[in-house]
Chains A and B, each alone.
Chain A
Amino acid sequence: RKEVEQDPGPFNVPEGATVAFNCTYSNSASQSFFWYRQDCRKEPKLLMSVYSSGNEDGRFTAQLNRASQYISLLIRDSKLSDSATYLCVVNDPRYGGNEKLTFGTGTRLTIIP
């Protein structure tokens, strides 16, 4: 089983729609969770950290379900600029101190005008 698993997509969604991505992780001891977005041939950029209580940042909502080891990202009122690859990222708890991150392979999203 992959450490971090995501549906690779692609998701082709009309502008203005709501889209949700899911991600599962294998190590129950993981403590830090993130969503990054990566544009084609660019570096990943932190979209949001994911907290146990769930958190929202504008049109983006992230949720964490520790019991199911599941993370989600919801994008409302999608914009053309949301087209990107969304990476689910989880810390590797085997290493103390500065934590290493494990990246999912990403979910490709294209917003259609």
Chain B
Amino acid sequence: GAVVSQHPSWVICKSGTSVKIECRSLDFQATTMFWYRQFPKQSLMLMATSNEGSKATYEQGVEKDKFLINHASLTLSTLTVTSAHPEDSSFYICSASLAPFLAATYEQYFGPGTRLTVT
């Protein structure tokens, strides 16, 4: 199956600092990547959809100036949490979608996630 990597797997940072998370599709090209956030015992919540070479589309309630997304190539998307605060502590997961001609449906493959703790 398609492999997606994410780095770092966990990070602890101080309040007010910025953190960059990388998401890579290792064995396929992903025109679209998705960024999710999951709080304990809650479902995955989509934050934004990232298309290669264009601006990300953010979900309602997600601050685009706080969560900067860059999708510079077909295999790499980055999420930068700027001026992080303790309430940003969460499990951040990216996923990549196989192009429709490569899969019968829009299956998404997930990275292993990044656990962010802001102190």
Contacts and interface: CB of A to CB of B under 8 A. Distances in A.
B117 interface: no
Interface bin, chain A: 20 to 34
Contacts of B51: 98
A103 B112 contact: no
Given A42-B113, A43-B113, A98-B32, A34 B43 contact: no
A99 interface: yes
Contacts of A46: 1, 107-109
Contacts of A43: 93, 110-113
- In which size bucket is the chain B interface? 20 to 34
B105 A103 contact: no
Pick the most buried of A31, A41, A104: most chain B CB atoms within 10 A of its CB. Answer: A41
- Residue from A34, A91, A103, A106 whose CB has the most chain B CB atoms within 10 Å: A103
A31 B32 CA distance: 19
A32 B97 CA distance: 13
Contacts of B91: 41
8 contacts: A41-B91, A44-B110, A87-B43, A87-B44, A98-B31, A98-B32, A101-B106, A103-B44
